[in-house]
Structure 1
Amino acid sequence: MSGDTLRNWRYTLRHDLPASFVVFLVAVPFALGIAMASGAPLGAGLISAVVGGIVASALGGSAVQVSGPAAGLTLVIADLVQTYGWRATCMVTLLAGVVQLVLGVFRAARAALAVSPAVVHGMLAAVGVIIGLAQLHVVLGGKPQQSAVANLAELPGQIAGLEGHKVAVGLLTIGVLIVWSRLPKPARAVPAPLAALLVAAGTAWAFGWDVTRVDLSKAFGDWAFPVLPHGDWHLIVGAVLLVALLASVESLLCCAATDGMHGGSRADLDQELSGQGVANMVSGALGGLPVAGGIVRSTANVHAGGRSRWSAILHGVWVLVFALGFGWAIRLIPLEALAALLVFIGVQMVNLGHVKKVHGHGEVPVYVVTMAGVILLGLGEGVLAGLALAVLLALRRLTGVTVQKREEPDGRVHVTISGSLTFLGVPRLTSELRAIRTGAAVDLDLNIDFMDNAAFEAIHSWRLDHERLGGSVDIDELHDEWYALAASGNRMFPAKSPPKAPDRSWLPWAHRRHRPARRTVVGGNGSSTEVECRLTAGAHEYHRRTAPLVRPIFSELARKQQPSHLFITCADSRIMPSLITSSGPGDLFTVRNIGNLVPRRGTEPHDDSVVAAIEYATQVLGVRTITVCGHSGCGAMAGILSGGVRAGSMPGLRRWLRHGNHSLARFIETEGDRLHSGALDVLCRVNVQQQLENLRTYRKVDEQVRAGKLELVGLYFDIASARVHLVPPLSSRSRPSPTAFSVADGGATAS
């Protein structure tokens, strides 16, 4: 035996073997209870547990899912047994398995997940209610009726004729199930269903209570191959498809849920569906119930330490050994105890957690309609009603139109239309647009991902009418230009477009479609003209698009600013600190000047503006970092390199550039032999290093740097490549170097 094989066997013995015993103890009571609720032979439940454990687990695509008799199919099977008989029902199970196998081969598993979870949860809740009401009659010593309504109507009379011993066994079983979860963890090593049945059986035997016993004596001796159902073939085909669909959906949803419970490999849903199909074929041929993945069994498997499919396979083996060798022990279980277990299971199937989930997505009506339909009309009718409502709600959401109107102080009307514009939204759209006052100047934003011809015609005809009556309409499309393309006669896109980020604030004005803002200018002769102001247009665009998004942030920042960085950079219009550092409001305390210069302490000409910002940032705001950011092609450095010639007749600029003389001196000292075409950019980098040194001439800054409370950082922005480089500061004794380190693309590399 190889080393890998030996390790695998040890792994199985350590984790999967103990887990398989736990799942086995959970599965047996469930199998017997579901068989009884389905009106099938009790042995059919054990057969489906064996086949689900061995066949479905061996051939399926999940490592931890445990399959067995499906509680969600209880009503369907009970109806089939009454209509066609047990052997014909087994044939329906077999044929449903064939359908599942075909779907799995053609990789249709994902399509089964398209069923709304609200429908599935509503169906399971209804099944739980029906099972609980039916088995409550057995607990009370009577017989279940044909429908949930009839069971509810007969309940008062059933309570009036209680049979003491049978009721006591049922109540004892339910009591143990309730109390068991509150016991210490060592006691809960025995699964609650098994403990409840053992306590009920032991008590009934000890006191000699008159109860109904479970009989498996003929469960495995009267096997016969399934037969074809007789009747309307349309109904038979519908039953086969219904069993296949419900078993598939229950298994695949369970499979998806268990994927999040363990850290092993993810499940192959198509393989799982094929494995479930083969298991149902085998179960139907052997006289078992339909097989599906069960969340209770699967969860018990994961929590017990199951890591591979061997735990589920071994659990099937233990059920088989128990059924063949210890079936006589089941005769000790009171039938009323099994019924009480089913009542408890039915109550648990009405999961309030599922109601909260569907409520968060606005699907409570689907849940309620499905649940009520299954209880009052039947499983097939209820599921179809839930699916129909889910489709209608989805269609409403997908084609929903939101129209927001706001009148600006200047009299302009701002309208935002959002959603998918189809013919279904035309009545609402037309009503909202027609309500805009005649002659108004309208800014119309189309925040849409689809527009059909009916919606275009509605908007276009309204626009023409509005403009004909003296108004104006300015249309701006935030995503693809559906309206513009339709108006120009071009071919429309065939499908909905994915949403694009509407934020274009980082683009220069010249690179984006700009809606002109107009202001009135009165001339000397009293005449007035309208001129475009791009800055006002930008503010207008900010108020329409950005302000609503950032208002919550600024509401918090209004009380106090707490920037973490002092950012000193050039006044060059091409440098955007927030863009190149991916920072937001409140992050940077920014100082901008010509050449990103920091005057040394005590130098002339005297300047307090930069010094004041440094003092306030370090002593009041408590910033942790001061960053000096230079850039390529800096005009200030070009002026310094020319000896002030380029400053021309600008005396203020010439005086200010004197603060860069130390940068020039350091450049000449260290880089004098590199006066070539790239000398300007070398000086720009050396200037960043020199300004970091100038910061150390201020005593408070130097003390904080030495104490490790403040960090000095140099950045260099190469405009042509749009890359940011890190420039390390220099000590007074080190030789300056223009070498930068790129921080672009997430790494630090020599630049």
Structure 2
Amino acid sequence: MFRDTQGRLLNTLRHDVPASLVVFLVAVPLSLGIALASGAPLASGLIAAVVGGVVAGALGGSAVQVSGPAAGLSLVVVDLVQTYGWRATCMITLLAGAVQLALGVLKAARAALVVSPAVIHGMLAAVGVVIALAQLHVVLGGSPQKSAVANLIELPGQLADVHGHKVMAGLLTIGVLALWTRLPRRIRAVPAPLAALLAAAVTAWAFDWNVTRIDLSSSGVQWAFPVLPQGDWHLVVAAVLLVALLAGCESLLCCVAVDGKHQGRRADLDQELTGQGVANMVSGALGGLPVAGVIVRSTANVVAGARTRCSAILHGVWVLVFALGFGWSIALIPMEALAALLVFIGVQMVNLGHIRKVHGHGEVPVYVVTMVTVILLGLAEGVLAGIGLAVLLALRRLTWVTVLKRDGRDGRLHVTVSGSLTFLGVPRLTRELRTIAAGTPVDLDLNIDFMDNAAFDTLHSWRLDHERTGGTVDIDELHDEWYALAASGARPRPAKKSLPVEPDRWWLPWDQRRRGPGRRTVLSNGGSVQVECQLTAGAREYHRRTAPLVRPIFTELARKQQPSHLFITCADSRIVPSLITASGPGDLFTVRNIGNLVPRRGAEPRDDSVVAAIEYATQVLGVRTITVCGHSGCGAMAGLLSAGVRAGSLPGLRRWLRHGHHSLAAFIETEGDRLHSGALDVLCRVNVQQQLENLRTYRKVDEQVRAGKLELVGLFFDIATARVHLVPPLRATPSVKMSGGGVLAGEEWGA
């Protein structure tokens, strides 16, 4: 136990203490700037930083998230201070913390994530614009107006009446912030906000610039317990809920984002919300700003190497020590430099990366509406407008129906209806079906996950009318049988499938699919007409139909592969490993070559590609099974039987087939000189057995087989019957049981 305590202490000293100092250097200027933007006493920003670090850091559910005053809440605080006064605003913060605490105890944190990220990002971008416009007036030596529109209107006049030294201090701050990322890494160890404020303060002092100084003593009014807001209690409750929900959502989204930046313990969101609630109650009681998880400080914490919550707690302690012992130094910072820092932060809050993300998901309208409404009307109105639009778009997507029509080679019209068939999609469905000419033979594919009664009546009535006029309609339902069940009078299943089956008959060859990937006519650079190849068309079909279905699986597999089998098989185009083994992505580590050969250890000609795959599979991936799969009518084995005659004009193939000589020798030993009609397939099976023996020539493989940690399996695929046979090895091992005697014996599966 003593060793564990000592180890944790050393880990804290080595990683968390340095990280806490980095975050502290970032937190002090940002906390002062956010307090300035919020229209609150500057001391309130430092109080919130201390409470966010110590209380939220100790009680929260994330090991590395750092909490403190958040720029995203500054617009709310400004409005509250102007409406109710500072002490009443502190009470609203305290009550908002109580609401967060209750939601955390009720395990409601996940529900907060239902808010679209496009709304949050749009809100933060708007807050950044409003902050930048307001503080730009301070940088120019003036005073901010009451609204973003007023700030924008007054800006030309402010530019015409600039104040020299004040503007120079602001421009110097912005210049340092902009250039800091391009300096050498050792210099960048000092956080950019701290370096910019230091540069402005030192320059203003050295040249005796006429700038506005920060007076922390006058901003930190004597502490008094918060008072209840006076006014319409409905508006007060709305303000409490707004602060609670915005701070909670920002904290939880930050928590989720930070989880993706480190390898430690994942965050407990309910505990995090509880910790944020307690921190806001304490911050409000002490006269601090609302507290939330802050992505800038949290990212700096992770990058600096923090491992535990000690870093966040210590950063709060350092802020407290600084405020009590070195608060006088803040008076050296020009107010214009602090305002310039806020302008720079505001511009950065309009994150292009967020815009690209929401564009990829079709949520740009939500982002834009939220941003514009926040700027023009206010934060609460903007958030409500964004949420409302997001809900409407979600309903539209859920009820959107697509109807694709394509003429087939057999003269039939192929129609695919995709989406959720509800009464809202009936007008579009009816319009598309009416364009189909009478008497046309139609193949109708229903790629749907729901069908209500109105949609069924529409589709069924059209089908009866179309068949009455001489046409035919062949309906194929690719998922649940909504139409068939409704037509038979049975009750359809109400639930949707979480992962529907792939809508195309992907196992068929291209030329045998009723609806395979088409060949598109395209123009080359020279203007000539070309036909798109089947492979490119197939990839296009995959992206359109299959990729959305398998994306969740590949998202999980993207981090790491953990196959359980090494599968060695022939390069023959008729062998589809995933099909004949009913396996999926991530199951098989596959090696394919002519004749499914495994060169023996030290054999010539050398081939390290197969050996490398075996080494990687057994020593890195830790597979439990190596399977060698041969097949009937193998061309490589036919080449061996012909003594190389069939490979005469292929020198590379002749050299490669030398690795099959042991298989040919084993075949001759068992079959003698008798060559019969089935000799080729017998050699194919013997070859599988021989390759299992060749695997044992590698020491690591043999050791794992003898220890029972690795199993060697032989398979034979009979192409003509589409049956898979189990081929027993030549010698039994602890991990392989013989299933019968003789080369042809073995277990088989098939229809």
TM-score of the aligned structures, taking structure 2 as reference length? 0.76
The correspondence for 1:689, drawn from 671, 681, 686, is 686
- For residues 459 and 118 of structure 2, the distance between their equivalents in structure 1, rounded to whole angstroms, comes to 37
Alignment partner, residue 465 of structure 2: 465
- Choose 440-449 or 391-400, whichever is displaced more: 391-400
Alignment partner, residue 709 of structure 2: none
- For residues 693 and 383 of structure 1, the distance between their equivalents in structure 2, rounded to whole angstroms, comes to 69
Q: 1:47 to 1:29 in 2, by over 3 A?
A: same
2:686 maps to amino acid:
Q
Cα distance, 1:720 vs structure 2 = 12
SS of residue in 2 equivalent to 1:402? strand
- For residues 291 and 11 of structure 1, the distance between their equivalents in structure 2, rounded to whole angstroms, comes to 28
Cα distance, 1:329 vs structure 2 = 1.1
1:689, 1:727 within 8 Å by CA — same for their partners in 2? no
- For residues 365 and 371 of structure 2, the distance between their equivalents in structure 1, rounded to whole angstroms, comes to 10
SS of residue in 1 equivalent to 2:419? strand
2:715, 2:724 within 8 Å by CA — same for their partners in 1? no
Cα distance, 1:716 vs structure 2 = 3.8
Cα distance, 1:497 vs structure 2 = 2.4
- Choose 21-30 or 388-397, whichever is displaced more: 388-397
- For residues 535 and 403 of structure 2, the distance between their equivalents in structure 1, rounded to whole angstroms, comes to 23
Alignment partner, residue 534 of structure 1: none
The answer to whether the aligner puts 1:241 opposite 2:241 as a matched pair is yes
2:61, 2:268 within 8 Å by CA — same for their partners in 1? yes
Cα distance, 1:150 vs structure 2 = 0.3
Cα distance, 1:63 vs structure 2 = 0.8
Cα distance, 1:566 vs structure 2 = 5.9
Alignment partner, residue 142 of structure 1: 142
Show the 5 A alignment for 1:544-555.
544-545=515-516, 551-552=534-535
Alignment partner, residue 618 of structure 2: none
2:145 maps to amino acid:
Q
For residues 123-168 of structure 1, give each alpha carbon's deviation from its aligned partner in whole angstroms, at most 9, with x where no partner exists.
1111001000100111111110000110011111111221112111
SS of residue in 2 equivalent to 1:420? strand
Q: 1:306 to 1:594 in 2, by over 3 A?
A: closer
For residues 423-479 of structure 1, give each alpha carbon's deviation from its aligned partner in whole angstroms, at most 9, with x where no partner exists.
111111111111110111111110111111111111111111111222111111011
Aligned CA RMSD, in angstroms, stands at 4.1
- For residues 463 and 654 of structure 2, the distance between their equivalents in structure 1, rounded to whole angstroms, comes to 53
Alignment partner, residue 93 of structure 1: 93
Alignment partner, residue 166 of structure 1: 166
Q: 1:44 to 1:589 in 2, by over 3 A?
A: same
Alignment partner, residue 292 of structure 1: 292
Show the 5 A alignment for 1:387-426.
387-426=387-426
- For residues 631 and 748 of structure 2, the distance between their equivalents in structure 1, rounded to whole angstroms, comes to 23
- For residues 102 and 242 of structure 1, the distance between their equivalents in structure 2, rounded to whole angstroms, comes to 15
1:627, 1:714 within 8 Å by CA — same for their partners in 2? no
- Choose 123-132 or 102-111, whichever is displaced more: 102-111
- Choose 445-454 or 50-59, whichever is displaced more: 445-454
2:429 maps to amino acid:
L
Cα distance, 1:184 vs structure 2 = 1.2
2:73 maps to amino acid:
L
The answer to whether the aligner puts 1:543 opposite 2:514 as a matched pair is yes
Alignment partner, residue 224 of structure 1: 224
Show the 5 A alignment for 1:533-612.
542-545=513-516, 551-552=534-535, 565=570, 579-580=579-580
Cα distance, 1:210 vs structure 2 = 1.8
- For residues 722 and 639 of structure 2, the distance between their equivalents in structure 1, rounded to whole angstroms, comes to 31
1:127, 1:375 within 8 Å by CA — same for their partners in 2? yes
Alignment partner, residue 261 of structure 2: 261
1:369, 1:382 within 8 Å by CA — same for their partners in 2? yes
Alignment partner, residue 121 of structure 1: 121
Q: 1:596 to 1:189 in 2, by over 3 A?
A: closer
Q: What is the count of residue pairs matched by the alignment?
A: 632
Q: 1:175 to 1:600 in 2, by over 3 A?
A: closer
For residues 327-385 of structure 1, give each alpha carbon's deviation from its aligned partner in whole angstroms, at most 9, with x where no partner exists.
11111111111111111111111111111111112211111111111111111111111
Q: 1:400 to 1:342 in 2, by over 3 A?
A: same
- For residues 376 and 600 of structure 1, the distance between their equivalents in structure 2, rounded to whole angstroms, comes to 79
Alignment partner, residue 337 of structure 2: 337
Q: Which runs of 5+ in 2 are unaligned?
A: 520-531, 540-567, 597-629, 664-669, 692-712, 733-739
Q: 1:724 to 1:72 in 2, by over 3 A?
A: farther
1:26, 1:191 within 8 Å by CA — same for their partners in 2? yes
- For residues 99 and 743 of structure 1, the distance between their equivalents in structure 2, rounded to whole angstroms, comes to 65
Cα distance, 1:496 vs structure 2 = 2.1
Alignment partner, residue 485 of structure 1: 485
Alignment partner, residue 364 of structure 1: 364
2:175 maps to amino acid:
G
- For residues 253 and 409 of structure 2, the distance between their equivalents in structure 1, rounded to whole angstroms, comes to 54
Matched residues, percent identical? 65
- Choose 236-245 or 617-626, whichever is displaced more: 617-626
For residues 45-76 of structure 1, give each alpha carbon's deviation from its aligned partner in whole angstroms, at most 9, with x where no partner exists.
00000000000010001111100001101100
Q: 1:458 to 1:601 in 2, by over 3 A?
A: closer
1:244 maps to amino acid:
A
Cα distance, 1:105 vs structure 2 = 1.1
1:565 maps to amino acid:
C
Q: 1:322 to 1:115 in 2, by over 3 A?
A: same
Q: 1:349 to 1:455 in 2, by over 3 A?
A: same
Alignment partner, residue 349 of structure 1: 349
- For residues 99 and 199 of structure 2, the distance between their equivalents in structure 1, rounded to whole angstroms, comes to 42
Show the 5 A alignment for 1:271-282.
271-282=271-282
Cα distance, 1:657 vs structure 2 = 3.0
Cα distance, 1:612 vs structure 2 = 6.7
1:411 maps to amino acid:
G
Q: 1:592 to 1:453 in 2, by over 3 A?
A: same
Alignment partner, residue 657 of structure 1: 676
1:328 maps to amino acid:
W
SS of residue in 1 equivalent to 2:62? coil
For residues 577-605 of structure 1, give each alpha carbon's deviation from its aligned partner in whole angstroms, at most 9, with x where no partner exists.
88437799x98789987899967989xxx
SS of residue in 2 equivalent to 1:217? helix
- For residues 327 and 459 of structure 1, the distance between their equivalents in structure 2, rounded to whole angstroms, comes to 75
- For residues 614 and 564 of structure 1, the distance between their equivalents in structure 2, rounded to whole angstroms, comes to 20
- For residues 655 and 422 of structure 2, the distance between their equivalents in structure 1, rounded to whole angstroms, comes to 55
The answer to whether the aligner puts 1:12 opposite 2:31 as a matched pair is no
2:570 maps to amino acid:
H
Q: Which runs of 5+ in 1 are unaligned?
A: 508-536, 557-562, 570-574, 603-607, 631-639, 642-654, 664-683, 695-712, 731-735, 746-751
- For residues 296 and 18 of structure 1, the distance between their equivalents in structure 2, rounded to whole angstroms, comes to 17
- For residues 286 and 254 of structure 1, the distance between their equivalents in structure 2, rounded to whole angstroms, comes to 25
Q: 1:323 to 1:566 in 2, by over 3 A?
A: closer
For residues 269-293 of structure 1, give each alpha carbon's deviation from its aligned partner in whole angstroms, at most 9, with x where no partner exists.
1111111111001111111000001
- For residues 175 and 683 of structure 2, the distance between their equivalents in structure 1, rounded to whole angstroms, comes to 82
1:102 maps to amino acid:
A
Q: 1:538 to 1:465 in 2, by over 3 A?
A: farther
- For residues 567 and 425 of structure 1, the distance between their equivalents in structure 2, rounded to whole angstroms, comes to 47
- For residues 648 and 415 of structure 2, the distance between their equivalents in structure 1, rounded to whole angstroms, comes to 47
Show the 5 A alignment for 1:43-82.
43-82=43-82
- For residues 72 and 224 of structure 1, the distance between their equivalents in structure 2, rounded to whole angstroms, comes to 26
2:35 maps to amino acid:
A
SS of residue in 1 equivalent to 2:210? coil
Q: 1:170 to 1:567 in 2, by over 3 A?
A: closer
2:463 maps to amino acid:
R
For residues 67-113 of structure 1, give each alpha carbon's deviation from its aligned partner in whole angstroms, at most 9, with x where no partner exists.
00011011000000001111111111111111111111111111111
Q: 1:230 to 1:578 in 2, by over 3 A?
A: closer
- For residues 193 and 690 of structure 1, the distance between their equivalents in structure 2, rounded to whole angstroms, comes to 70
